Amino acid sequence: MSAPIGPARRAAAFQRMRDAHSTEMAEDYVELIGDLITGMGEARLTDLAEHLGVSHATAAKVVARLRREGLVDSRPYRSIFLTDEGRAMAAASRERHRIVHDFLIAIGLDELTAEADAEGMEHHVSERTLAIFQAMTERLKAAPIDAQVSPSK
């Protein structure tokens, strides 16, 4: 058995999760704004609300927060644009998502499950875990799990 986790270490882990929760929504929004701009040429509040499954008012409140945080630039009745900081956050979030998604596919999950799980996990894994996911994904691509497991007789 392993030793119990001490209070300071446990508190640090909970703090990391609280920090991840506080940035999770911002990351989802800026990533989607970037995707909408790339795919449609613009990101509108209506599109954000529709893609995220939230009300127009909720999307407007979050965009106002993102504007205060310097992640987006928007004006009433105009498209929403990412600032340099917003583009950097979107790119980092997109890369974290890709790493988690690719790892889940490499260990044998189907596409729909991998996509859904990666959407939540990307915000909560540490940089160290991401690095291990990426390394393991490369190993698994070189020698897939199916090739490593011999059939039962």
Which candidate, 129, 124, 132, places its Cα nearest to that of 14?
A: 124
Domain residue ranges in the chain:
8-144
Instruction: Please identify, in words, the CATH class of the domain defined by 8-144.
Output: mainly alpha
- Cα–Cα distances (Å) from 87 to 27, 73, 92, 116, in that order, read 10, 11, 9, 23
**Cα distance between residue 49 and residue 61, in whole Å:** 11
Average pLDDT for the chain:
88
Q: What is the pLDDT of residues 62-105, one digit of tens each?
A: 999 999 999 999 877 789 999 999 999 999 999 999 999 999 99
Q: What is the pLDDT of residues 96-151, one digit of tens each?
A: 999 999 999 999 999 999 999 998 899 888 999 999 999 999 999 898 666 555 44
Amino acid in position 23 = T
